[in-house]
Amino acid sequence: MKVLVFESSAIYRSIIKEIFNSNPNLTLCDFAGSDTDFIEKLRIHHPDCISIDATVLTEKEIYRTFNQVQKLKLPSIFFISDSQKNLRTPENVVLFSKPKFESFSSKQIEECAIGLEMTYNQILKKMYSVPSLLHKMDSSSQESHNHQIINDMQKHSSSSFQALCIGVSTGGPTTIMELLNGLGSSFPVPIFITQHLDGNFDKNLIEWLQNNVSLPIHFAQDNQIPKNGHVYFTPADVHLTFKKEQNEIIMHFNHDEPVNYLRPAVDKMFDSAAQVFGSKCIAVLLTGMGNDGAEGCVHIKKVGGYTIAQDEKSCVVFGMPKAAIEAGGIDIILNLSEIAPYLKKLVKT
């Protein structure tokens, strides 16, 4: 099903990208940023379904859009505010309450993501009679896996690691805050984080973390030499990679095409880390939809690096860690509360 999305919120665009990335029955035609842009892209793409942020539209604009989608007979999702709940809707329109994200609440993001997934699956079921693609992993297999590899950290000496790379998506802000606070005020290697967020929201996230985390937090910069104990976030719309120049490892911005609609992509960062840091890299894959980071974990593990996945119980959405586990790319699965202490033991801070 091809979907055209009119959405002004950076975090919703990120969540929607992940939903599409995790569901092979959904194809994202394009994003529209304004009413006129949406109408134009509607004519260009001929989507099977549309998703509209109605919170930025006037009542007159909403009813005008209702008429248009009714004429086109397009299944449609309209995000609405509390004041718009009494709108008279055509049969082909589903209203979806749009929560606020002032506190970066993982619970709010989880509820939104799951609600969106269910709504899209309901539309898919009506159109194509396909089932939902949400699955859960058997916790017993997870415990068995942990039991087999719990002593893997003994393979690495205390001085072997040069980088900690973290991939995260839905539910990321509070998850990242908890993990970084668990590391304390110093850490012996640089920390690189790729979080699926768009431009406006990533600046807010950095400022929020700078006020709530002891470690120094920055946006990564192109051709910058990273410092131990500093946290570097990938900016929006670039992939973070690494290269070696004159015995120094530097951060490098890669402008390749999005990977499954994602730029930055965790896989891009992990793959580059595998090539440049090799066995001296630790990769941590946290909560998020889809499978971004799974292939990268496989590559890091193959070159002798160490890979950690957040467990299902502590994830907001278990998609990304689950995909990496199933791909055979994970050395150990840990609860979020266990990851920071485990990392400190790995590097012996």
How does pLDDT run across 142-193, given as a tens digit for each residue?
445 444 434 454 455 444 899 999 999 887 888 899 999 999 999 999 999 9
How does pLDDT run across 37-87, given as a tens digit for each residue?
887 888 888 888 888 888 888 888 888 888 877 777 788 888 888 788 788
Its pTM stands at 0.66
How does pLDDT run across 204-219, given as a tens digit for each residue?
788 888 988 999 999 9
pLDDT at 135: 38
Per-residue three-class SS string for the chain: CEEEEECCCHHHHHHHHHHHHHCCCCEEEEEECCHHHHHHHHHHHCCCEEEEEHHHCCHHHHHHHHHHHHHHCCCEEEEECHHHCCCCCCCCEEEEECCCCCCCCHHHHHHHHHHHHHHHHHHHHHHHCCCCCCCCCCHHHHHHHHHHHCCHHHHCCCCCCCEEEEEECCCHHHHHHHHHHHHCCCCCCCEEEEECCCHHHHHHHHHHHHCCCCCCEEECCCCCCCCCCCEEECCCCCEEEEEEECCEEEEEEECCCCECCECCCHHHHHHHHHHHCHHHEEEEECCCCCCCCHHHHHHHHHCCCEEEEECCCCCCCCHHHHHHHHCCCCCEEECHHHHHHHHHHHHCC
pLDDT beyond 80 at 293: yes
Residues designated catalytic: 169, 196, 292
